[in-house]
Amino acid sequence: MTIALDATPLSVSTGGVARYTLELARALAARFPDDEHWLLSDQPFPMPEHPAPNIHRGDPPNNRVTRKWWLWGLQQEMMRRHVDVFHGTDFSVPYLPLRPSVMTVHDLSPWLDGAWQPHAQRIRRRTAVLLRAGLATMVITPSQAVRRAAIDRFGLASDRVVAVPLAASEHFRPVACEPPARPYFLFVGTLEPRKNLRRLVEAWREVYKSHAVDLVLAGRARADFGPIPSEPGLRIAGPVAEADLPALYSGALAVVYPSLYEGFGLPVLEAMQCGALVVASRDPAILEVTCEAAVHFEATEVRQLAEALLAIARAPQDFSAVRARGLERARTFSWQRTAELTWEVYDAAIRVFRK
């Protein structure tokens, strides 16, 4: 099989969709070495480090016609590469259904609250049209929660939508390290309104009144996320190199993920795979990931979160069983399994398209 993946997410250095595209391409190439995998985009993007011999870079558009990428340019490039199926890794598929296509719908945040994705107008308009017009032969979602919501919102046939869970990279594992100079709660992710960080800071302040536990916010701050005023104990770490994250997760008193809405919640899985205690909101997708192997709270209830953090600060040893359950739960996810399930969707798309 020859597979084309939309490599446009790789043009951004960080973010969950870039991680998904990169890890999926690597896992597909390793699991299915007889297949050819083409990374295609009209935007410049870096190739994966040490790419497998069956991962290739396609050519970018080079004239006025091919710059109309989703209409003509992408089609021409796929014809040149004899592509069997196209995978739109970020809410997109070609406008002309000349071959089977698969679209990943990561979540429904662009349609649920305009403040969460203020620059997603193109996705809101285009993706809805593509889905309702049936231009995606099959649809992948990262969780059953998103699958149900996508079927309801866009009127999709249930047999054309498949939930394929993500995974954490293999290098996320427990790291033995010296206790930090000061204990800390940790958030990892993009700093944006949907992540509910202001409530997290408010809850942490209650803990800090009686316990010297810092709060570390690690991640890229999106342009629409207003600055959080500095105060004692609050550390804005900014983007952290992926190689440094396992130690950061492993050393935390707890990893806190208070998101108002998620399609999957990859940092939650990364933290559990590192043996960290996870404190997370009761978002349906996050609950799928943790399977209750975490401490949960209602996202809008600051008091609930503060009480959970206080309990951990007072007696972290009382939560060792939760940590162990999280580590065990994390072992059920792998990028190899994600690649296998995704390949099955490609195969289904080809069979459906031929009918």
**Stated length of the chain:** 355
pLDDT given at position 355: 81
Phi, psi of 27 (to 5 degrees): -70, -40
Cβ pair 119, 225 in contact under 8 A: no
Terminal alpha carbon distance of the chain: 18
Say which residues have a Cβ less than 8 Å from residue 277's Cβ, sequence separation at least 6: 252, 253, 254, 255, 294, 295, 312, 316, 319, 322, 323, 326
Out of 11-15, 54-58, 128-132, 279-283, least confident range:
11-15
Res. 188 pLDDT band, cuts 50 70 90: very high
Listed in sequence order, the residues at least 6 apart from 320 whose beta carbon sits closer than 8 Å to its beta carbon are: none
Place of tokens 């401490």: 295
- Report the CATH architecture of 184-330: 3-Layer(aba) Sandwich (3.40)
Q: What percent of the chain has pLDDT over 70?
A: 100
Contact 92, 6 (CB under 8 A): yes
Per-residue pLDDT for 218 more than 90?
yes
Query: How large is the average pLDDT for residues 20-31?
Result: 97
* Of the candidate ranges 227-241, 245-259, 271-285, the one whose mean pLDDT is the lowest: 227-241
The answer to whether 188 and 249 have CB atoms below 8 angstroms apart is: yes
| pLDDT of amino acid 123 | 86
CA neighbours within 13 Å on the CB side: how many for 217?
23
CA distance 103 to 140: 6
User: What confidence score (pLDDT) does residue 223 get?
Assistant: 84
Mean pLDDT value across residues 316-344: 97
Q: Which two tokens stand for residue 162?
A: 């498949």
Pick left, alpha or beta for residue 15 (phi over 0 → left; psi -120 to 50 → alpha; otherwise beta).
left
Q: Where are the beta strands (DSSP E) in 19-77?
A: 36-40, 55-57
Whether the model clears a pTM of 0.75, i.e. scores above it, the answer is yes
pLDDT score of 214 more than 80: yes
Q: What are phi and psi of 228, to 5 degrees?
A: -95, 125
Residue that wins the pLDDT comparison between 123 and 252:
252
Rg (CA), the chain: 21
Q: What is the pLDDT of residue 79?
A: 97
Q: What are phi and psi of 57, to 5 degrees?
A: -95, 130
**Number of helices (H), then strands (E), in the chain:** 12, 13
**Range(s) of the chain covered by CATH 3.40.50.2000:** 2-167+334-354, 184-330
Of the chain, the percentage scoring pLDDT greater than 90 comes to: 88
Distance, in Å, from the CA atom of 146 to the CA atom of 162, rounded to the nearest integer, reads 10
pLDDT at 113: 86
Report, as an integer, the average pLDDT of 54-64. 95
Q: How confident is the model at residue 352 (pLDDT cuts 50, 70, 90)?
A: very high
- Please tell me the predicted confidence (pLDDT) of residue 16: 83
CA 261/CA 195 separation, integer angstroms = 8
Each as own residue / partner, the long-range contacts of residues 340-344 (CB below 8 Å, 24 or more positions apart, any chain) are 340/31, 341/162, 341/164, 341/165, 342/24, 342/28, 342/87, 342/102, 342/140, 342/164, 343/1, 343/28, 343/31, 343/32, 344/162
Confidence band of 337 (pLDDT split at 50, 70, 90): very high
Neighbours of 99 (CB within 10 A): 18
Per-residue pLDDT at 227 exceeds 80: yes
Report how far residue 174's alpha carbon sits from residue 275's, in angstroms, rounded to the nearest whole number: 5
Indicate the fold that domain 2-167+334-354 takes in CATH: Rossmann fold (3.40.50)
In order of 162, 207, 304, the CA distances from 212 in angstroms are 46, 8, 20
